Chains A and B, each alone.
Chain A
């Protein structure tokens, strides 16, 4: 009814009809907005039960997901890269993650 009124008053097809004709593929390739994707990957790395890593910085450059920071073991590094890949399918994972080495302290500090 609204479309008919619009046509009657203005003598043209309503804009909504024109928009209907624009095809937006539901599953077609759609570029993610980089800051949102980076945040989503970081969130997944933090929340995934196999990772839970807080010290991983994530950035998106073109088709690459860059991972930087430090994790506690090779297993954690591998898991982090896996979660990033699963969260951003179609992107390359470029990992600069380092594995932390913790040693026993040699000395003590006198405080006070």
Chain B
């Protein structure tokens, strides 16, 4: 069994000092890793990233993160990433991290993702260059996720992103903004590649639990949703979903949606 602590949308700024360090000190005995699902900073300034980096520097467990839309706002995402990496955090931008645990090898596929919407109400790669660029940005992230999951040969596969791969976890948000909260392309990529669990944030008014159409559990760990500094999830090998021939994964996870 592996134990995964996860949170999204911590939105750190200068006034956030101390919010993460204290709970982290208690986490070593309860989890094997901490995953952060983007929006690490409030306004995307490097100094905000530095506050979080200082909090995470002495973390008693591996910390893996992706960036969120807030982290890009001030065009200082490289500095934010550098500060976190200097503090020992693994920051994934369409990259894979592999953790070697006693319980097995854990592959974490990390990408921010992007929007576009879901079946019946989604943007398409058609029309003005701006619209095509919007959809293609999401498609690039989805393409990476699909490829990385297919190539991963680890005991556990976890996807970490900021935007949502499913509409399930957006319930509570205004439907009009779903296209800005996630995309079915991300969910399709997860189902094609096969994974055990997906974490995302971004949807503050959504709900925690969802599932992809292929049966993979999704957790929206945005702090305003989970109402905790982080939540802790356990996974065992029985739960692994592997891609079936032809790309679609077996649906071994039978959890219902939210």
Contacts and interface: CB of A to CB of B under 8 A. Distances in A.
Contacts of B94: none
Nearest to B204: A55
A22 to B, nearest CB: 40
Interface stretch (A5-13, A32-40, A96-104): A96-104
A82 interface: no
Contacts of B45: 49
A75 B224 contact: no
Nearest to B202: A54
A111 B234 contact: yes
Interface residues of A, number: 21
Interface stretch (B8-16, B105-113, B147-155): B8-16
A111 B15 contact: no
Given A55-B204, A76-B15, A111 B43 contact: no
A54 B196 CA distance: 31
Interface string A79-104: 00000000000000000000010111
A100 B229 CA distance: 11
B228 A104 contact: yes
B26 A104 contact: yes
Contact of A105 (B11, B205, B231, B234): B231
A10 B205 CA distance: 63
Contacts of A108: 3, 30, 231-234
Interface hub of B11, B19, B70, B197 (most chain A Cβ within 10 A): B11
A49 B14 CA distance: 11
B228 A111 contact: no
A54 B203 CA distance: 10
Given A76-B15, A103-B228, A111 B219 contact: yes
Contacts of A111: 196-197, 217, 219, 233-235, 239, 253, 255
B95 interface: no
B257 interface: no
Given A54-B204, A103-B229, A112-B235, A72 B253 contact: no
Given A70-B224, A72-B11, A103-B229, A52 B26 contact: no
B223 interface: yes
Contacts of A100: 223-224, 227
A49 B15 CA distance: 12
A110 B234 contact: yes
6 smallest beta-carbon distances between A and B, as pairs: A112-B239, A52-B42, A52-B43, A108-B232, A105-B228, A110-B234
Interface of B: 3, 11, 13, 15-16, 19, 23, 26, 30, 42-43, 45, 70, 196-197, 204-205, 217, 219, 223-224, 226-236, 238-240, 252-253, 255
Interface of A: 47, 49, 52, 54-55, 70, 72-73, 75-76, 100, 102-105, 107-112
Given A103-B227, A107-B232, 6 more contacts: A105-B231, A109-B231, A109-B232, A109-B234, A110-B233, A111-B234
